[in-house]
Amino acid sequence: MTRDLQCSIDPHNYLFILVCANNAWQNIPAERLRSWLDKMNKWSRLNHCSLLVINPGNNNDKQFSLLLEEYRSLFGLASLRFQGDQHLLDIAFWCNEKGVSARQQLSVQQQNGIWTLVQSEEAEIQPRSDEKRILSNVAVLEGAPPLSEHWQLFNNNEVLFNEARTAQAATVVFSLQQNAQIEPLARSIHTLRRQRGSAMKILVRENTASLRATDERLLLACGANMVIPWNAPLSRCLTMIESVQGQKFSRYVPEDITTLLSMTQPLKLRGFQKWDVFCNAVNNMMNNPLLPAHGKGVLVALRPVPGIRVEQALTLCRPNRTGDIMTIGGNRLVLFLSFCRINDLDTALNHIFPLPTGDIFLKPYGLV
């Protein structure tokens, strides 16, 4: 690109605007993108010119998070998105001869083909005036009304996430009610932590028993300050929310969430599997070097009590967490409960079977 430009014009004192195709950068490897940015930075400095890159896309959060650390190559990074009835300009950082502006969010509008600041907005650094705000999923309060004028309740995590993207130092409390919500919730937390910074307090309230220890580690690694367990009463929950006030998040959060997901959620199966599929899945888990050596799961063989066939016992087995799989072998029901600890085995089995396990299977269980 630089060679083509210099063939036709002298780039000195020019402003070049590069408009990319939709999602053009989506599949470009991070290292290749960093190398290109470094090259363009050196070229623009050498030729005393500026380059503005406009990269349209449906979901640019991944690239935005990656580019946050490229302040040595970039003089500015911002994203424009439509939310509700307005356009929001999120400024990660922007440098010019007057100084640096960072972590601003401005409302803008388009009139006669020109983008302008909304009349009521002022282009100055936004104060951390939202420290007392608590943005929460309505399920967190278990039917109770907002506890003060600082509380704002939302019907679901998606609406809550969109509102949290406008906050700076508020407290955000998500609700987790089923295992299928873990990955979307982890992505939302990762985006907020990478883009909104360390002053925001992010909590997850587990409303029903859904989390393994590794799921909790995933949410914390993505940027959550705390996970409130399902068996904590509302009074304890409120105390834990109060305990994070004034905290500043200090742990490192990787720029690419796929690294975290591959470490903690490698098994995407659930329920009954054929014998060979089951064996391959368990073998892959055991040989995964990214997982903790003594926390990969529990393999248990259950022999039905007299009068119950193993096929009948299978119909009672209803795992609701991804990674919990079973098969039949040797007249036994064989279960692999990923990331389950030995001490939690009885609790896990009680969640999987609708009847007491002692009424279905002989003890002791065959731990493998």
- Do the bridges between strand 99-111 and strand 114-117 make them parallel or antiparallel, or are there none, so unpaired? antiparallel
Q: Which structural domains are found in the chain, ordered by start?
A: 1-117 (no CATH), 134-261 (3.40.50.2300), 266-362 (no CATH)
Q: How many CB atoms lie within 10 A of CB 108?
A: 14
pTM over 0.75: no
| CA torsion angle 199 105 58 14 (round to 10) | -120
286 alpha-carbon distance from chain centroid:
25
Q: How far, in Å, CA of 77 to CA of 95, rounded?
A: 9
**How do the pLDDT tens digits run along the chain, 368 residues long?**
778 787 888 889 899 998 988 877 777 888 898 899 999 999 999 988 999 999 887 767 777 877 887 878 898 998 888 776 678 888 888 887 777 777 777 888 888 888 888 876 444 445 557 889 999 999 999 988 898 999 999 999 999 999 999 898 999 999 999 888 999 999 999 999 998 889 999 999 999 887 877 788 889 989 999 999 999 999 999 999 999 998 899 888 888 888 788 766 657 889 999 999 999 999 888 887 657 677 788 999 999 999 999 999 999 999 988 889 999 998 999 999 988 888 889 999 999 999 999 899 998 776 65
Neighbours of 347 (CB within 10 A): 12
Q: Closest Cα partner for 199 from 176, 175, 169?
A: 169
What is the pLDDT at residue 279? 93
- Residue 330, sorted as left (phi over 0), alpha (psi -120 to 50) or beta, turns out to be left
Where are the alpha helices (H) located in the chain, listed in sequence order? 2-8, 30-46, 61-67, 157-164, 182-196, 213-222, 234-243, 257-264, 275-286, 310-316, 345-352, 357-360
Determine the residue type at 188.
S
DSSP for 81-138, please give it: EEETTEEEEEEEEEEETTEEEEEEEEEEEEETTEEEE-TT---SPPP-TTTT-EEEEG
Quote the pLDDT of residue 264.
Answer: 64
Q: Are 136 and 151 in contact (CB under 8 A)?
A: yes
Q: How many residues does the chain have?
A: 368
Whether the CB-CB separation of 278 and 336 falls below 8 Å is answered with yes
Position 122 scores a pLDDT of 47
- The whole-angstrom separation of Cα 40 and Cα 209 is 50
Which pLDDT belongs to residue 123?
47
Instruction: State the distance between the two ends of the chain, measured CA to CA, in whole angstroms.
Output: 60
**Would you tell me the crossing angle of helices 182-196 and 157-164 to the nearest 10 degrees?**
10
Interatomic CA distance for residues 212 and 318, integer angstroms: 17
Identify whether 254 is preceded by a cis peptide bond (ω within 30 of 0): no
- Between CA 350 and CA 272 the distance in angstroms is 18
Angle separating helix axes 257-264 and 213-222, nearest 10 degrees: 170
Residue 217 burial (CB count, 10 A): 18
What pLDDT is attached to residue 84?
A: 64
Q: For residue 54, how many other CB atoms are within 10 A of its CB? A: 9
Task: Identify whether the C-beta of residue 133 lies closer than 8 Å to the C-beta of residue 167.
Answer: yes
SS3 content of the chain, % helix, strand, coil (to 5): 35, 25, 40
Distance, CA of 186 to CA of 353 (rounded, Å): 28
Q: How far apart are CA 285 and CA 324, in angstroms?
A: 12
Inter-residue long-range contacts of 110-114, CB under 8 Å, 24+ positions, other chains counted: none
